[in-house]
Structure 1
Amino acid sequence: MPPSVVETALAFLFGVASAVVPVLNVELYLVGMGALSGGVLLAIAVAAAIGQTLGKIPYFYIGRGALNVPWLKRRAQTPPRWAERAERWRAKAEGRPLWTLGLVAVSSFASVPPFMVVSVLAGTLRMSVWSFSAVTFATRTARFVLVIYAPEAALWLL
């Protein structure tokens, strides 16, 4: 199997794993790939974005109440310091689909507010899973393209 296929498949798998287990840092992985890999950087970034999108969908369904996986529910619980903020976001987004879409886009791209919390919130607010997935994929792809090309850009600036 060509190295580019293996690297892309590993990026997808790491994307899924890091979406479910926040301790795994996909950005750090992509910076490393950007520093070490050859010409398949765009494919690696897209594969990681697909993996992240698929990995966040269970959190979305936890918010919707359609998925009951105890260990995943524990991970999806809003940390105490974010609980009040999450409630304010929910109150603002309730009945405002464009606001919800914007919140998902900003969180997915910038990770502020934490995207895991916003993924659950999007499910709670009954956002369409297709809208959630499309926005997540687009913004994660943009973020990961920036991240994976950062080492090359930094070298070019030197």
Structure 2
Amino acid sequence: MGDALGWIWELLLSIGFGIGSAVIPVLNSEAYIVGVGVSHALDPLVAAIGVGVGQGLGKVVLFLAVRYRPDWAAKHKTKVPKEPDLTTRWGRFKERSARAAKKLLDLIGDAKYGVPVVALSAFAGFPPLYAVALIAGASRMRVLVFAITVLIGRVGRFALLALGVSAF
């Protein structure tokens, strides 16, 4: 009984950290998993599952925030972005970044490529999942499809990391 209760607390602690790290980029979930694996303070696999679930929940919150609050920017004073100066390296970089974000939005909203892009982001971290969650919220992707894809990708990523660290 005590061992099962300990796992529940470990899982809840890890879910909490996962939610925090999903919305606050400074909190690094990979460092948390490595720290747990090295210190053996928690069961690494339970922590990995908890962080994966928490990250999935947190990214769904970001997704829903964009999906259901699209007027937020309009209600707040925002500066109108200047056209980038294409004669400078920084201006060309900003222009390419804007085109890449537009292309990513189109891919995520596409029925054929949306799930693979989100799965790659959730598992491999490229493109960054934080940005993908925000872009997916503005796309036509369904929330359930997004949530399941992120959950599977994140739990897989952290479980492999936990098993790799605990092997040493």
Query: TM-score, normalising length from structure 1?
Result: 0.79
Structure 2 residues not aligned, in runs of 5+: 74-93
Cα deviation for residue 68 of structure 1 reads: 6.9
Q: Is contact 2:34-2:165 (8 Å) kept?
A: yes
User: After the TM superposition, which residues 1-158 of structure 1 pair with which residues of structure 2 at under 5 Å, given as runs?
Assistant: 2-37=5-40, 40-66=43-69, 82-94=97-109, 96-153=110-167, 155=168
Structure 2 vs 1, CA of residues 28 and 69 (structure 1 numbering), >3 Å: closer, same or farther? farther
Cα deviation for residue 38 of structure 1 reads: 6.8
CA–CA separation in structure 2 for the residues paired with 1:48 and 1:125: 26
Structure 2 vs 1, CA of residues 103 and 9 (structure 1 numbering), >3 Å: closer, same or farther? same
CA–CA separation in structure 2 for the residues paired with 1:147 and 1:130: 26
CA–CA separation in structure 2 for the residues paired with 1:91 and 1:38: 43
Structure 2 vs 1, CA of residues 29 and 90 (structure 1 numbering), >3 Å: closer, same or farther? same
Percent identity of the aligned residues?
A: 33
Secondary structure of the structure 1 residue equivalent to 2:127: coil
Q: Is contact 1:86-1:117 (8 Å) kept?
A: no
Cα deviation for residue 67 of structure 1 reads: 6.7
Cα deviation for residue 126 of structure 1 reads: 2.0
Cα deviation for residue 58 of structure 1 reads: 2.1
RMSD: 2.4
CA–CA separation in structure 1 for the residues paired with 2:9 and 2:65: 32
CA–CA separation in structure 1 for the residues paired with 2:36 and 2:127: 26
